[in-house]
């Protein structure tokens, strides 16, 4: 959403590069949330639900502040 605000709709070169880098998660694949073709609000709700149920856990020590 920040990329869309900066670059407009369409395929951003930055997002395309990130998608390629993240498309093969290897052993981390079991820790990913598949949001498929969900919209932003559906994706957010899926992540919130997984966090609330304990399916996912966020390690704040790995989060880099902007």
Domain that holds residue 11: 2-55
Q: Is residue 61 part of a domain?
A: no
Provide the pLDDT for residue 6.
64
Q: How far apart are CA 4 and CA 11, in angstroms?
A: 9
Q: Is residue 42 part of a domain?
A: yes
Q: Is residue 66 part of a domain?
A: no
User: Would the pLDDT of 2 be above 70?
Assistant: no
Q: How far apart are CA 31 and CA 10, in angstroms?
A: 28
Q: Which residue has the higher pLDDT, 50 or 14?
A: 50
Q: pLDDT for 23-54, tens place per residue?
A: 777 877 777 777 778 888 998 998 899 889 98
- Number of structural domains the chain divides into: 1
Q: Is residue 11 part of a domain?
A: yes
């Amino acid at each position: 959403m920040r990329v869309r605000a900066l670059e407009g709709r369409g395929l951003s070169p930055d997002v395309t590069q990130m998608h390629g880098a993240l498309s093969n998660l290897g052993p981390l694949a079991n820790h990913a949330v598949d949001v498929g073709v969900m919209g932003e609000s559906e994706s957010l709700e899926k992540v919130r639900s997984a966090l609330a149920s304990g399916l996912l856990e966020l390690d704040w020590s790995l989060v880099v502040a902007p």
